[in-house]
Structure 1
């Protein structure tokens, strides 16, 4: 009887801890939401000659309110994620998938840099943090609320990939490649699934006007020189730098233990706190992977080969984000702003070129 009572008390304690952290997550979302706003007020970004939010192009199906739906969907989706994480933790305390969901959400702290590197310009009508805040102002226009849903994006491909891998393994002998090299097999599946998923998702989101890639490399990109251009080869490949480790770290072997758990134990990280050690390992590896994503785009940015600009610029309430003068050369009307980190980090120690003569066959002339 005493042992049963103790077991019940332990279960109740674990459940209360799960709900406590779930409520902490919910409270954090509510607290963050109190700072979010729409529109622009910073003179650095806002176009003083435009009022409201006119749009020179039609978004998907001609519907003008996709940003509103994206805001609402993010709130609902994150509430669902929090509930699922709490339920999973109650059922299996220390669940690596829950830890990875938290870790892949936590890397959002890097997002201003990761918007800066690939020229990701977000719609000011999305809920966003004040654009004058020092760190978030690295983001070209605004730092949006929707990025809080990163776990669904970066961790999502793991689930169809592991489902497919298990089905393949069930049909293959034990000496097959998928059994001898399950991590490589899983990584390959995530690469393919992640690439296709990112392509479908981002092409759609760009078409709905949630954001644009203001500059892309002309080759390897979809619709270069249009408002809805998308750096297909680059973006859809680079995002898998994060997707692959997120999935591989959660792979469970025949002992039921995840790769991240075994690696944390092998490295002797916080041996008395194995769950915390597993989380910190996941968080550290994902941060490194995310830096690799940003570093790859940073090289492209500094090289100056992302010359195709999104014409017409779809957010006229904001100044045209033109850090290297390419928009001005293509005839897009100003005013322009170069943003932050636009000297040596963009491969131009003196900053944005002062003289940007219009190209003979300027792509943006007559587009606005």
Structure 2
């Protein structure tokens, strides 16, 4: 059985112009130094120096690399760039949430969201694909067709862009604003696992961004054959986009369930490497009025998760234009949460963030796609 949708080429390079070093993996950085004519015996040292300047200090000018000789800095500047992908639009919510529309290439755009006051400090929600193939009926991103997978460099660049904007270089600075990374943006991360894994290596490297692996959470809609591989390769925390407790309803809400039904999904979750009471899986459950929010479904959820170290994030549905669903009433959500809590599961009700800029859970869809759709209708 295979679950690959691998449009990812780890050796991919821009088609025109100097190659950017921002967001490269360590092996790619070493290869870049050799391609620039650095002697083999010095290439590893030079790659390590540049790596730290780029990913720890966040420099945008080769002249800032003061432990590299001036003539060598000049040679690097001729061969490479430190440019980031273009920020097409930057929106700031009334609650402090920031959303970035990032252009990676002509016609290729993704959205990234910074959410303050999450975890130890703040979380960055990154995208792993442009568009999505899953067509979850409550999710706005699911209405945008898949353009392509992102490379590891493009995923890591989302963190670099956000840190530029938040002015938190170097990464050892106290009171860091980005302490957690969540792969909950556009796309299904497990359909792009090679790039996701490489990007986690970049972001967790102690000489670079230095974000701990246990502060990274990868959310999947249930690509069962890739779940164990995710844990083995990345040691990241696991989140499951669940939203229903029976196959009939989940087939509608999360069509991937038709391929990997709930029983298979739960077996894969129980086998996730490192799963224990201190490394719990997070189940995401969007609250849809009259659809999945009854007390009976809360009790079914408790039975489904029996014996699995878990917490449940109850997510009030975030509306988007044309959506067929409504958010559950607050009293209904609280009743649901109380049933789950009484069974011994933490079930926080997620406070909607960034709704006014369409940055909340399930609302991401690149502005370019919205504009193209609007033009077609016109």
TM-score in terms of structure 1 length: 0.26
Name whichever structure is richer in strand by fraction.
2
Name whichever structure is richer in helix by fraction.
1
TM-score in terms of structure 2 length: 0.26
Higher RCO (CA < 8 A, seq sep 6+): 1
In our comparison, the structure showing a higher alpha carbon Rg is: 1
